Structure 1
Amino acid sequence: MITFKKFINNEFIVKILESFFGKVSFVLFTMLFSFVCTRLYGAEIFGQYTYAFSIVTLLMIFAKAGFDNSLIYYIPKYKDKYISLSFFVNIIISIILVFVANFFINEWFVKLMLPLIWLVSMEQLFFSIYRANDNIKGYYFINGFLSMLIRILLVILFYFIFERNFISIALAIYISFLFSNLIYFYQNKKRFKKVVYDKGFIKYSFSLVLAAVMGVAMDRIDIVMLGTMTDMRSVGIYQISVQVANVIFMILVIFDTVFGPQISKLYHNGKYKELKRLYVQSTRLLGLLSFIIIIILSVFSKHILLLFGKEFVDGQMALILRGIGQFINVAVGSVWLMLAMTGNPKWHIYANFIAFTLNIILNYLLIPKYGVNGAAFATMTSMILVNIIGYILVCRVFKVRVYGIV
């Protein structure tokens, strides 16, 4: 059997390793942050934070307006030409979203978090710049280490200042995002030049928005509906289950961080055979690794959840169900990235729309009776559907077979 290393050069391996250590650092610190929050503030207040940040994450997709993926696609060809335009439009959309959202949201803790829409979306744009310029290590040192360390230390410090209060978590989040974005800007300030309007760039970016919105919505709508239809304690328990299950997804994120720009470069240089070989070999490896992790998480799910407190064991089945969904997600590889980075983002929109609609229907039917388990089953089902569709499309468009079945 041809080994994976024969299809990638040493530089690519180095970037994968940088992405791996950076993402592992971020995930570990995120889990530590959740551990500290659940231990100090309990499931209900942590649930408020999760519910509010989920809404911010959904709205953030509109704020970044698809520019994150567009920059990865365009920077290899046009360098820094569209960076200033992306950030300018991002600021305008963020202000509008925060203003409008205040009229439709009643929960005070959600309103308090709304300005994060700009900070979170801006960070995603910076992430694209680092990825497109092969400086993943530089980004993750800020995002996965410095920012998260500050966030954890502040949430502990503010606990003793404000006691057991949601504001403590909110302040820690704001300060950490402000810190990271200031560092990103300082390191990339020379890339910001005159705003150059280009209809083609805007059109391509906006075409990615709907797919991105429905993709994130599919991942977050269960939390929003769970908070609306049950209580914040259930949201807190469910969020921990989701975070643990997302350890599987981390493998794909690590790979995609490097693979996205690589797809764009290979595609623009006409190296289609190399692109297809890289996808097939990497997907097989991703499938094997994700299978091993889902087995481990399923066997030790109760013991893992006990680390966060006894009440979080109620999310054991939800963890397993979400883990199965993520296993399929990773096992099919970077299907939607393959399509988006080669100028075919529209299929993702259609597939996500179908899966998103199914997710809402299933959540509506299952949450009242099964709670967190119903939400997990709904998202697992829609996640499997959208990724199977993506796998079939990639196999047919690029004429490849990963597992010998299409």
Structure 2
Amino acid sequence: MKRIFEKNRVNSGDFRSKLIESFFGKASFVIFTMVFSLVCTRLYGAELFGQYTYAFSIVTLLMIFAKAGFDNSLVYYIPKTKQKFISLSFVLNASISLVLVIVSLFFITDDFVRIMLPLIWLVSMEQIFFGIYRASGNIKKYFFINGFVSVLVRIILIIFLYYIFGKSFIGIVIGVYVSFILSNVLYFVQNKTYFKKIEFDKKYLLYSASLVLAAVMGVAMDKIDIIMLGNMTNMKNVGIYQIAIQVANLLFMILVVFDTVFGPQISKLYHSKKIEELRILYIKSTRVLGLIALVFIVILTLTSTMVLQLFGQEFVEAKTALLLRSIGQFVNVAVGSVWLMLAMTGKPRFHIYANLFAFTLNISMNYILIPLYGVNGAAFATMTSMIVVNILGYIMVCNIFKLKVYKFF
């Protein structure tokens, strides 16, 4: 009994240690990303920042197909198969990225978006490396590059290039490209020993494919409002709305930090048949997440105007949108890692169905509300779909794992 207790204490300590590393790493990334946005809006203005945001949103959406679910598949499979599928994942990622870029060039006419398309490969590759770091427990190394080195280089470059090219999107494009190329080179150097011969496996590819649809729907639901806002209004509105999203996503960061560590933990406990430990961990963590989310949204409500003024007076008009998006994120964080619980226990199809429903709802509401209410309409549509999909996930997790997180539900 003493040995079991000591083992559990060691595991708990390791989990907390990884959680702290993830928090500081992600916090660094969020802070530097906010600084990047602050510099962009101050130097380049809301319209050009909106143009960048619109283009990068399209890249992010297409990137999901390029990474093909390999990031989360590696988190699920590495505890069982070690580095067996790593080389395969990167080869397929490069091939899919190339096809996506070529095909997209035939359909996309916006010059800024076309220039940004090769980022599909760089961004998706970074996400697959993230899966390796999560599975191997080296989160600190990943976030040092992702949350500090890469974004810092990006900020320095866009400031430097502003004084060379002036108020032009060229400065932003070069800064973003150089930062992603640098980060991926550093990731490869740190993980080159994991690359072995390519081994095909039908089960691995099918599992990855099942995660793609859920991820596409999730990112599409998160980005479709930006894309529709850009097509139905103007790029200035996109820039203003993006700042509201970024500030609201500070709350989401809490869940992302936790998921970074919780994902591998779910996989380990599930494969070890320790379902009761998994249930207890989910319940306790979700209660803590819910409390933190509540405190955060109260503080944000009281300080929203002051925060938005940092980016410029024109961004204050995003106050309502910021509060609406924050409510959606509050629900997202308060129900905990519901979809990760399902994906890491071999049940990713539920996420596909829920995201498909929420995505359809989001598009329909955006189509109706954006012409009437602009950025506030987009925020309300996304908030509603976000609440719906996360409540559905919470209900599924409670039923499947026979648990109840809060007193009344």
Query: Normalization by structure 2: what TM-score?
Result: 0.97
Distance 1:6 1:75 in 2: 24
- CA deviations on 1:208-227 (whole Å, 9 max, x unpaired) are 10100000000000000000
Distance 1:405 1:359 in 2: 29
Task: Detail structure 1 runs of 4+ shifted over 3 Å in the superposition.
Answer: 5-8
- Cα distance, 1:167 vs structure 2: 1.0
Distance 2:398 2:37 in 1: 39
Is the counterpart of residue 321 in structure 1 residue 324 in structure 2? yes
What is the match of residue 289 of structure 2?
A: 286
Partner AA of 1:30 in structure 2: T
What is the match of residue 181 of structure 2?
A: 178
Q: What does 1:186-197 correspond to in 2, within 5 Å?
A: 186-197=189-200
Partner AA of 1:213 in structure 2: V
- Cα distance, 1:7 vs structure 2: 11
Distance 2:50 2:231 in 1: 12
Q: What does 1:58-97 correspond to in 2, within 5 Å?
A: 58-97=61-100
Q: What does 1:302-341 correspond to in 2, within 5 Å?
A: 302-341=305-344
Is the counterpart of residue 105 in structure 1 residue 119 in structure 2? no
How many percent of aligned residue pairs carry the same amino acid? 67
Distance 2:307 2:16 in 1: 31
- Cα distance, 1:404 vs structure 2: 3.0
Distance 2:310 2:43 in 1: 13
Is the counterpart of residue 115 in structure 1 residue 115 in structure 2? no
Q: What does 1:241-320 correspond to in 2, within 5 Å?
A: 241-320=244-323
Equivalent position to 1:360, from 363, 370, 375: 363
Equivalent position to 2:217, from 203, 214, 220: 214
- CA deviations on 1:120-171 (whole Å, 9 max, x unpaired) are 0000000000000000000000000000100000000010111100111011
Q: Secondary structure of the equivalent of 1:195?
A: coil
Distance 1:405 1:88 in 2: 49
What is the match of residue 4 of structure 2?
A: none
- Cα distance, 1:52 vs structure 2: 0.2
1:8/1:278 contact within 8 Å kept: no
Partner AA of 2:248 in structure 1: A
Q: Secondary structure of the equivalent of 1:300?
A: helix
1:7/1:277 contact within 8 Å kept: no
Distance 1:295 1:234 in 2: 26
Number of equivalent positions: 402
Q: What does 1:192-203 correspond to in 2, within 5 Å?
A: 192-203=195-206
- Cα distance, 1:405 vs structure 2: 3.8
Distance 2:162 2:251 in 1: 32
- Cα distance, 1:6 vs structure 2: 8.0
Equivalent position to 2:406, from 392, 399, 403: 403
Partner AA of 2:136 in structure 1: N
Distance 1:66 1:300 in 2: 38
- Cα distance, 1:338 vs structure 2: 0.2
1:7/1:278 contact within 8 Å kept: no
1:267/1:275 contact within 8 Å kept: yes
Distance 1:334 1:205 in 2: 19
User: Over the residues paired in the alignment, what is the CA RMSD in angstroms?
Assistant: 1.0
- Cα distance, 1:106 vs structure 2: 1.1
Partner AA of 1:297 in structure 2: L
Distance 1:164 1:15 in 2: 41
Partner AA of 1:363 in structure 2: N
